[in-house]
Structure 1
Amino acid sequence: MGTNWGLYITMAGIFSVALLMLGMEKKAGLNARQVSLIAMLAAFCAAGRAVTGVALLFLQPTMFLVEITGFVFGARAGFFVGAMTPLISNFFMGQGPWTPWQMICWGLVGMSGAAVRRLFPHAGYKTITVLCFIWGYLYGAVMDVWQWSVFTGPLCFKSYFLLWVAGFSFDSLRAAGNLLFCAALGSQSIKILRYFHKKMDVRYLENI
């Protein structure tokens, strides 16, 4: 009997999501209004993915917003919004063993926005647009690992490469959609989220 790599990969995804969510929760440090806004963004992204995922296939105007959330609010908010997007939307699109890996990928999208902000403090929406385009391919490559481990045999580089090539056109469509949506809406989205971030960043000063 062969090793059930699909089960192991799926379980690894579940445990990874659980550990990341636990780590993010313990280091949150967000006030109530920020949590409310982040939850609203997660619901908005999930709704956008669920609706456009049916009508527009891979052209989903939500991945760039997850990226911008991390860019503006930081890694914790970016990961939370990203991870919740597929979890919630898959109740309409279809839950399955692929969901934990989708949560990891979308969460990493949000965290990468925060990483760009930290590494390049003067970066703007053009940098985010390029990163969103790249994520169109990275997302497909990471999800191919799950599909490769579950449905493909033998597990070797050649079989993974052939699977990646088979999905390259879909990845290109996703990358092009990310590019177009972020180029069109990225600048204004950053301004809007920065405005709300500034308004909700409440700090209390002790009397001297």
Structure 2
Amino acid sequence: MKTSQIAFLSVFAAFIVVGRIMFQFLPNIQPVTVMLICLAIFAGTRSAVLLAIISTYVSNIYLGLGIWAIWQILGWVLVCLVSGLLSKLLREANIYVFALFCGIMAYIYGLVIQIGTFSYTGNFIAYYLASLPFDTMHAIGNIGFAIVLGPILKRILPRYLQTIQ
């Protein structure tokens, strides 16, 4: 990996961390998922997975680090993997399809979190049902961030990534 690529990923990780911390006062609404999806689409799955791990760990140092961080990382890694697999389709998708995809990914992320909760509490159904309002807020936030950030990142990321490769 070149120095310019490392610098780009570092700056993008900083944006993700700041975005997550900035919106901490809203329950489950943050731009992390949308930014990681865009990164997986345009920079590749490997870069997105790396930033999912780094940004989750760094932001959780501020927000609170615990066993749940492992499941947050796994949830965002799964989102990155799915986005990377569908990257060709998502690059050409219109903003509404992209926003819908981001909304669906919130529920996938929430499912992973609840599997993690089940691993140390033992009651999956109760925690999953209790988490649905938070997952819905995450989905609504993702749709909003996808509509706002999607076109910006769709224009900026490919241009910038061409200059550093």
The answer, yes or no, to whether TM exceeds 0.5 is yes
Q: 1:151 aligns with which of 117, 121, 141?
A: 121
- Name the residue aligned to 1:166: 130
Q: 2:158 aligns with which of 174, 190, 194?
A: 194
Residue 176 (structure 1) aligned with residue 146 (structure 2)? no
What code does the residue aligned with 1:85 have?
S
- Identical aligned pairs, as a percentage? 25
Q: Which SS does the other structure have where 2:30 is aligned?
A: coil
Separation in 2 of the partners of 1:120 and 1:175? 17
Paired residues in the alignment total 165
Separation in 2 of the partners of 1:113 and 1:31? 24
Which structure 2 residue ranges, 5 or more long, are not aligned? Answer: none
Structure 1 position 121, deviation (Å): 6.1
- Name the residue aligned to 1:31: 2
Separation in 1 of the partners of 2:135 and 2:50? 24
Separation in 1 of the partners of 2:2 and 2:104? 33
Separation in 2 of the partners of 1:119 and 1:62? 21
Structure 1 position 74, deviation (Å): 0.5
- Equivalence map 1:116-127=2 (5 Å): 116-118=86-88, 122-127=92-97
Structure 1 position 137, deviation (Å): 0.9
What code does the residue aligned with 1:41 have?
F
Q: 2:76 aligns with which of 102, 106, 111?
A: 106
Separation in 2 of the partners of 1:186 and 1:121? 10
Q: Which SS does the other structure have where 1:167 is aligned?
A: helix
Structure 1 position 109, deviation (Å): 2.0
Cα-to-partner distance string for 1:46-98 (whole Å, 9 max, x where unaligned): 12112212x22211122101110110001101111122121110001100111
The answer (yes or no) to whether the contact 1:78–1:109 under 8 Å persists in 2 is no
Q: Counting helix residues as a fraction of each chain, which structure ranks higher?
A: 2
The worse-fitting range, judged by mean Cα deviation, of 174-183 and 58-67 is: 58-67
Question: So what's the TM-score if we normalise by structure 2?
Answer: 0.91
User: CA, structure 1 residues 96+167, in 2 after alignment: closer, same or farther (shift >3 Å)?
Assistant: same
- Name the residue aligned to 2:108: 138
User: CA, structure 1 residues 176+120, in 2 after alignment: closer, same or farther (shift >3 Å)?
Assistant: closer
RMSD over equivalenced CA pairs, Å: 1.7
- Name the residue aligned to 2:40: 70
Question: So what's the TM-score if we normalise by structure 1?
Answer: 0.73
Separation in 2 of the partners of 1:106 and 1:34? 21
Cα-to-partner distance string for 1:107-155 (whole Å, 9 max, x where unaligned): 2222322211146663354443222101111111111111112123xxx
- Name the residue aligned to 1:19: none
- Name the residue aligned to 2:12: 41
- Name the residue aligned to 2:51: 81
Residue 96 (structure 1) aligned with residue 42 (structure 2)? no
Mark the structure with the bigger radius of gyration: 1
The answer (yes or no) to whether the contact 2:34–2:102 under 8 Å persists in 1 is yes
